[in-house]
Chain A
Amino acid sequence: MKDFRIHAYLRRLERHLWIQGFADRETLTEIESHLFESMESGLQQGLSPEEAERSALERFGSVKEMAAMFEKERNPMLQKIFLVTAVVAGLFFAYVDSRPTWDDTGILAGGILLTCGLISLLGFRRPWLLGLAVGAWIPLRGILITHNFGSVLALIIAFVGAYGGWIFRLGIRKTFHLA
């Protein structure tokens, strides 16, 4: 099977969208359909297959432009609010963990897990960034100041919560056919 440049373009776009938190197969199918229709139109106008494909991709716009446009259309202010909330929560957990009188790791782990899960579930689209925003502070302090490498566990818990909430939200969207 011929590997079209269009397929390479779609793979790059899928990666960009995935990083941004979009996992929408239908959008990629729609774009693929558009690009091949555009290429066919070029062929009908007498272009060579290579020229028709290149022209279709040029007219469509670059991967970066497309990813930026999808990002812009998806409520960026709300995403910023989620991110600030996540950073504040992460700093709060790190502060609590640093208190000499605090020794209830279970409550802290539960708090990190729930916070990440909830923010993801509410619509934050970058689980990897959410995991870092909430879970990076405890290991940062733990490793740099007290050389406690076990504190990396907080980061792992944050990632589990962030991806758990994200997967759950995708499941809800798929089940109820939400945009």
Chain B
Amino acid sequence: MIGEALKGHLDLLLLAILAEGPAHGYAIIEALRRKSKGTFDLPEGTIYPALHRLERQDLLHSHWLEDSARRKRIYSLTTKGRQALTQRQDEWKKFSTAINATVGI
């Protein structure tokens, strides 16, 4: 259930993780798992179509890094991505405040 609910907010989570600095897909998944203390445990592949879409929307930028062992695609936020993150954080605050007030938390 958490996985399904999470999919609707994946963009916000990805943007928020990348606001802390550039990262590749595996590191993003690890950060999601670490920060949520294991609650956000999506199928790892889920993030790639979303990352590619965010890049097509110019919210992310990527470049390839030749690691010692393998090539890694590193994603970072664009200026437009930072603006989108701020906007989505505001929307989330309003939404979560309303939900909390309604369910009595």
Residues of A within 8 A of B (CB): 26-27, 29-34, 36-38, 59-61, 65-66, 69-70, 72-74, 179
Residues of B within 8 A of A (CB): 24-26, 43-46, 48-50, 52-53, 55-56, 64, 69-73
A69 / chain B contacts, CB cutoff of 8 Å: 45-46, 48-49
Number of A-B residue pairs at CB separation under 8 A: 62
Q: Do the beta carbons of B49 and A33 come within 8 Å of each other?
A: no
Q: Do the beta carbons of A34 and B46 come within 8 Å of each other?
A: no
B25 / chain A contacts, CB cutoff of 8 Å: 30, 34
Q: Do the beta carbons of A60 and B70 come within 8 Å of each other?
A: no
Known contacts A26-B73, A30-B25: A70-B49 contact under CB 8 Å: yes
Q: Do the beta carbons of B52 and A73 come within 8 Å of each other?
A: yes
Known: A33-B70, A65-B43. 13 other contacts (CB 8 A): A27-B48, A30-B25, A33-B71, A34-B44, A34-B45, A34-B48, A37-B26, A59-B44, A60-B43, A61-B44, A66-B49, A179-B52, A179-B56
